[in-house]
Amino acid sequence: MGTQAGTSPARLKVENTMGLSRKDMLGIRDLSREEIDLILDTAESFKEISNRTIKKVPTLRGKTVITLFFEASTRTRASFEIAAKRLSADTINISASTSSVVKGETLIDTARTLEAMNPDIIVIRHSAAGSAHILAGLLKQSIINAGDGAHEHPTQALLDMLTIREKKGSIEGLKIAIVGDIAHSRVARSNIYGLIKMGAAVVICGPAMMIPRGIERMGVTVCHTMKDALRDADVVMMLRMQFERQEKNLFPSLREYAQNFSLNRDSIKSAKDDVIVMHPGPINRGVEITSEIADGPSSVILEQVTNGVAVRMALLYLLSGGAK
Amino acid sequence: MKRKKVVMDAEGIERSLTRIAHEILERNRGTDNLIIIGVRKGGVSLAERLREKMSAIEGAEVMLGMLDITLYRDDVLSTERRPEIEKTYIPFPLDHKRVVLVDDVLFTGRTIRAAMDALMDFGRPAVIQLAVLIDRGHRELPIRADFIGETLPSSLWENISVNLTDTRSADEVVIEEG
């Protein structure tokens, strides 16, 4: 028999009385623990659809989802598009190159134009922090933030939390290390908000220049060596070195970075034996993680991608229809 | 909501299910290619009990699945909050299979319409039959059950609930005034 969704009294109460009553999905910071649980439970039920002979349900027939990407993306955009299509929504993808965009004004113009075409949900990625919030305030459509600058990337954090929950049963009480360029990482920020809310102990690690000052206020512990950060870790989340976001080189050389902060067969030894290794992709092989580890038995990197589709299906479903 | 009356007790439910199990086996000539699929939520435990009875009668395993039809409902987007989605579990292709859908109460027929649409996404069954514990009438679609525990004419403002318990001793079907 398939595993049935657990029904703790706390969760039942939420499902019966609260639901996800918000128009937009802008960041993990605004979400309650109950809302995160609801999204993850829904995503878990949606996973099965992708294994059917006919990988499509009719739920969002006649709805239109626009993905509006001002930054390069392969997996996030494809994941949203696949998620929307598996729910029978129509999808339109719009790419805009950042170079031709004057921040703010053009974004608003674009948004107004799209609104006139009457879509139901707009998924936006933009290099400016707060861009999804601007659209959400301006438009009646549901807005999903697919990454706004170095601010938040909520669907990535949700798919990460789904993966952790599946592998470890629960997020509560786990020790989770996030390693890399924390300062430039919206993935790290969204995950820190989410994982702390869900009761994990979060340790962050990276070169001093890449750790924002005062980040301890978010509830994390800062370590400056891999050995300290990974000690007894249940989960290690490696971040992509984001060369495109760094204005100047923040470290002397890639080689030196890799020597100190790469996840490899030696550095992983301080973690627990059953540690899972995560990475939001795309991977810089040999920089933040070796191929041996990325492709090894502890890696759940491809499961993260699979879960991404389920989490995005859940969000599109939960944000659709009804009285707004 | 005020309780009105018990229309079926534990023994009555048990007898009905035993008869339905025999009828399903008779109609399908045994358990070959037979799959029992419970419609969430009310149909799942009934499907489990029918499967148990059929296995005991025939001495053969009967495949069991469960189906959440929410995503196929014709009113799924019309409420303010989205209904909760539970897991669908049909880990086998339905091509050429004899599928018996099981639900607790047959009412408007809309749930069964949704369920049949969902089943077609898992393959092309040879036949789909419908077993329900209670048929309360008021159909809004041209749908009927093949196996019925009891037909209970009801008024639209009444609520019929099938309450099954783990121990089975307190099982009952009650009609409540809305």
Predicted local distance difference test score (pLDDT) of residue A294: 97
CB contact under 8 A, A45 and B68: yes
Predicted local distance difference test score (pLDDT) of residue B58: 96
User: Span B14-40, mean pLDDT?
Assistant: 97
Predicted local distance difference test score (pLDDT) of residue A95: 84
CB contact under 8 A, A45 and B88: yes
Give tens-digit pLDDT for B97-128.
999 999 999 999 999 999 999 999 999 999 99
Predicted local distance difference test score (pLDDT) of residue B99: 98
Residue A323: is its pLDDT beyond 50?
no
Per-residue confidence at B3, pLDDT binned at 50, 70, 90?
low
CATH topology of domain B2-75+84-177: Rossmann fold (3.40.50)
Predicted local distance difference test score (pLDDT) of residue A12: 36
Angle at the Cα of A48 from the Cα atoms of A44 and A54, rounded to 5 degrees? 145
Average model confidence (pLDDT) across chain A: 89
Per-residue confidence at A321, pLDDT binned at 50, 70, 90?
confident
B99 residue type, one letter: V
Give tens-digit pLDDT for A59-68.
999 999 999 9
B-chain CB neighbours of A18 within 8 Å are 81
Per-residue confidence at A102, pLDDT binned at 50, 70, 90?
low
CB contact under 8 A, A53 and B121: yes
**Residue of chain B whose alpha carbon sits nearest to that of A318:** B82
Residue A101: is its pLDDT beyond 80?
no
- The minimal CB distance from B87 to the residues A45, A56, A323 is found for A45
SS3 B129: strand
User: Span B77-82, mean pLDDT?
Assistant: 85
Residue A53: is its pLDDT beyond 90?
no
List the strands of the sheet with A121-126, edge to edge. Answer: A90-95, A64-69, A121-126, A142-148
Residue A131: Cβ-neighbour burial (10 angstroms; 0-12, 13-18, 19+): buried
- The minimal CB distance from B93 to the residues A46, A53, A60 is found for A53
pLDDT > 70: percent of chain A: 87
List the strands of the sheet with B34-39, edge to edge. Answer: B63-67, B34-39, B98-106, B127-135, B147-151
Task: Please say whether the beta carbons of A211 and A228 come within 8 A.
Answer: no
SS3 A150: coil
Whether the link from the prior residue into B125 is cis, omega within 30° of 0, is no
Predicted local distance difference test score (pLDDT) of residue B96: 97
Question: What are the extents of the domains in chain B?
Answer: 2-75+84-177
Contacts 24+ apart (CB under 8 A), B133-137: B133/B8, B133/B13, B133/B16, B133/B17, B133/B46, B133/B104, B133/B105, B133/B162, B133/B173, B134/B8, B134/B104, B134/B105, B134/B106, B134/B160, B134/B162, B134/B173, B135/B105, B135/B106, B136/B105, B136/B106, B136/B107, B136/B160, B137/B107
- The minimal CB distance from A21 to the residues B81, B85, B121 is found for B81
Question: Looking at per-residue confidence, does B1 or B10 come out higher?
Answer: B10
**Residue of chain B whose alpha carbon sits nearest to that of A4:** B87
pLDDT > 90: percent of chain B: 83
| pTM of the model as a whole | 0.90
d(CA B178, CA B172): 18
CB contact under 8 A, B72 and A52: no
What is the pairing mode between strands B127-135 and B147-151?
A: parallel
SS3 A42: helix
Whether the link from the prior residue into B41 is cis, omega within 30° of 0, is yes
Residue A10: is its pLDDT beyond 60?
no
Give tens-digit pLDDT for B60-71.
999 999 999 999
pLDDT > 70: percent of chain B: 98
Give tens-digit pLDDT for A165-186.
999 999 999 999 999 999 999 9
